[in-house]
Chain A
């Protein structure tokens, strides 16, 4: 049966198992939306801004592990997705972005709402396609989804001209796809695995340094098993949070610029770092020349370009993190006789770590009069569901969430780690809530970032997505203010928000509920009220204005040169 290109596109999405998409109509996708009008298998959510729609698809992808899908029209619709695409690209999130394009005969003519979106997004997509024939739609979409989700995942953009949406063709979806230039190496080399386990068994001060690749490859279980078998201390990056339970005594928490004292000290004193799906980002390593000076490095990553990009590596293992970890578990099993001796020999290392944990645990000075932001995060953990999903924006509240929430399960933290995108949190939470209508989804924001996509309150209310929005309001762009305090002589250039917003009224204007806490005694009751509410909620906490995120490794300093009190 012949159908038009727009309908073929939707049939492709259905074949890929897509049940929810985010998108915003416009001139060059009007045919696609017309086809969507009676295509009941796909649930479409209309955000109030294409950037938010893209973040929502990203949040959906991070929470579920499936490919997030967003539609935008040509020109400004397409350019509005760019921040969302770059966010997903930096954190390796599988997404397919479908942008309308002017009819093929008009491409290049500066037509109305024409933009070269493929050109604009080339540096921040894993790949992109321009569909130039209705007969190519199915194969292109098969490739797009395959590329987005396989290997190191990432966003793939499909530019879809209007005339191709109108043209008629048969629909025939390929069962398999073969791309001769794209063969991700998923299987870790057995010899490298053997060497890795041998290196671990010879080490005395090993640390597992775990990144987002562990979450992306759904490897929390084998990671936890391997770490517990070998009693390896585990520190995670921001993106790795949740892949190893922070409640476990082997957990060191997060490392890096705002990492825990014990995690950074462990890295600095380690003799063997086992990097698992992490990429030695500058926020993690601090000054490279003094990073982990005593350690050999084993680096497990599916993307060969991550290996030896920033630091020299003694043993690279290219492969899917899960595959490699499972092989390492087997290999450890083969060395059972050495295990007891190895674990016993780690005792002094474990005592060092315990001593570091006790010397400078994460903490803050509680107040009886002013709400401390860290206290709100701790209360949120205490009062929220075990499987609650947390999203954050970027800045102080993000670091406090990473430090104090205690993540024990993978895919429960949605945060823009690589790009550091303000305005990410609220729409990402929206995407997660669309995927899991019955789970508790909490969007923790500052008063800066929340205003960057606040219009999505309308989407939440309209679609009955009961996201709990927590605003830690210090009326500052807090992280920049903190840097200005520490490094710029308190010259608070453009970081004071000055105009206070009445978020309670704002919630009301959108038809949602708002609750305000101004003193520590209000915190628990506001959270409880917010959680009990059936619909979306804003919970606003007026927090200590000049509270700092500590410890802190100043930019350019070594990991063990943490500012602990300032």
Chain B
């Protein structure tokens, strides 16, 4: 089962390798990982999309919590969070395909951010499933390059992670 975890970490030397070492050393999967500083001084936030059964997910949570540099592990289950991902997509677009690409971009409320006579570059944001969807439709037209950020997630409701 795929699962999204947010990890609040000290913005310290080596913290990313500690997390990565933990996942590789214990044979946990990482589907995607993003990391950037938060609004609070000295803290960064990682969003990790991982897979495993309940027992593995419990271990991942506990093992992350055990790292000294980890302040908090937020385990988002059952739609308790909003997830977004950004993708930059370079797609071949000549002749009839140009109009088709524009239609798809319109349907997915994406944006064209670069144009050449032979291609469009698209910026798409949304739930990772939506990104999968637009890629699915563009694939037959000829994907030249795809860059995805990996999901970021934030809990629903009025409360911040810290209450």
Do B65 and A304 touch (CB < 8 A)? yes
- B18-46 Cβ-contact flags toward A at 8 Å (1 or 0): 10010001000000000000000000000
* In the assembled complex, A308 has its CB within 8 A of some CB on chain B: yes
Contact pick for B55, options A119, A126, A182, A308, CB 8 Å = A308
Identity of the chain A residue whose Cβ is nearest the Cβ of B66 in the assembled complex: A305
Interface on chain B toward A: helix, strand, loop, or mixed SS?
A: helix
* Choice from B14, B21, B55, B68 contacting A123 with Cβ under 8 Å: B21
Verify A305–B63 contact, CB threshold 8 A.
yes
Is there contact, CB below 8 Å, between B17 and A180?
no
Contact B13 A130 (CB under 8 A): yes
Residues in A with CB closer than 8 Å to B10 are 180-181
Decide: A122 and B17 in contact? CB cutoff 8 A. Answer: yes
**Nearest A residue to B14, CB-CB:** A118
- The answer to whether A304 and B67 have CB atoms under 8 Å apart is no
A309 within 8 A of B: yes
| With contact pairs A122-B17, A123-B21 given, residues A182 and B68 touching in the complex (Cβ less than 8 Å) | yes
Check if A179 is an interface residue, CB within 8 A of chain B: yes
Considering the complex, which residues of chain A in the window 275-326 have a beta carbon less than 8 Å from any beta carbon of chain B? 303-305, 308-309
B70: interface (CB < 8 Å): yes
Over the window 67-82 of chain B, the binary record of Cβ atoms lying under 8 Å from chain A Cβ atoms (1 yes, 0 no) is: 1111100000000000
**Known contacts A130-B13, A147-B68, A182-B68; A305 and B18 CB within 8 A of each other:** no
List of B residues within 8 angstroms of A128 by Cβ = 14
CA distance A118 to B58 in the complex (A): 27
| Interface size range of chain B in the complex | 20 to 34
Q: Is the CB of B17 within 8 A of A305?
A: no
Instruction: Write out the residue numbers on chain B whose beta carbons fall within 8 Å of the beta carbon of A179.
Output: 68
CB neighbours (8 Å) of A132 from chain B are 13
Determine if B59 and A122 form an interchain contact, defined as CB atoms under 8 angstroms apart: no
List, in ascending order, chain B residues with CB within 8 A of A308's CB. Answer: 55, 58-59
A127 at the interface (CB under 8 A from B): yes
Instruction: Scan residues 308-355 of chain A and give those whose CB is less than 8 A from a CB of chain B.
Output: 308-309
Q: Please give, as numbers and ranges, the residues of chain B lying within 8 Å of A309 by CB-CB distance.
A: 59
Does B58 contact A181, Cβ atoms closer than 8 Å? no
Name which of B13, B58, B66 has the most chain A CB atoms within 10 A of its CB. Answer: B66
Chain A neighbourhood of B25, CB < 8 A: 123
Interface residues on A, range: 10 to 19
B68 contacts across to A, CB distance below 8 A: 126-127, 147, 179, 181-182
Complex: chain A residue closest to B13, CB-CB: A130
Residue of A118, A127, A132, A182 with most partner-chain B CB within 10 A? A182
Q: Is B130 an interface residue (CB 8 A)?
A: no
B71 cross-chain contacts in A, Cβ below 8 A: 180-181
Query: Residue B144 at the A interface, CB < 8 A?
Result: no
A contact residues around B55 at 8 Å (CB): 308
State the CA gap A127–B22 with chains docked (Å): 12
Quick one: closest B residue to A181, CB to CB?
Answer: B71
With a cutoff of 8 Å between Cβ atoms, the chain B residues found around residue A303 in the complex are: 66
Which residue of chain B is the closest to A179 with respect to CB atoms? B68
Cα(A181)–Cα(B21), bound, Å:
18
> Is B62 engaged at the interface, CB distance under 8 Å to the other chain?
yes
- A305 in contact with B69 given A118-B14, A122-B14, A122-B17 (CB within 8 Å): no
Asked if B69 and A181 make an inter-chain contact with CB atoms under 8 angstroms apart, the answer reads: yes
Contact residues in B for A130 (Cβ distance below 8 Å)? 13-14
Indicate which residue in B21, B62, B66 contacts A122 across the interface (CB closer than 8 Å).
B21
In the complex, what distance in Å separates the CA atom of A308 from the CA atom of B25? 18
In the bound complex, what is the Cα–Cα distance between A147 and B69 (angstroms)? 12
| A119 CA to B59 CA, complexed, in Å | 23
Query: Are A305 and B70 closer than 8 Å at their CB atoms?
Result: no
Which residues of chain B from 79 to 104 have any CB-CB distance to chain A below 8 Å in the complex? none
- A118 / chain B contacts, CB cutoff of 8 Å: 14
CB–CB A181/B14 < 8 A: no
- Chain A residues near B59 (CB-CB < 8 A): 305, 308-309
Give A417-454 interface residues, CB cut-off 8 Å to B.
none
Which residue numbers of B lie inside 8 Å of A, CB to CB?
A: 9-10, 13-14, 17-18, 21, 25, 55, 58-59, 62-63, 65-71
Further pairs besides A119-B14, A181-B10, A308-B55: 5, Cβ < 8 Å: A123-B25, A180-B10, A305-B62, A308-B59, A309-B59
A-B contact pairs, 14 of them (CB 8 A): A118-B14, A119-B14, A119-B17, A122-B14, A122-B21, A147-B68, A181-B9, A181-B10, A181-B69, A181-B70, A182-B68, A305-B63, A305-B66, A309-B59
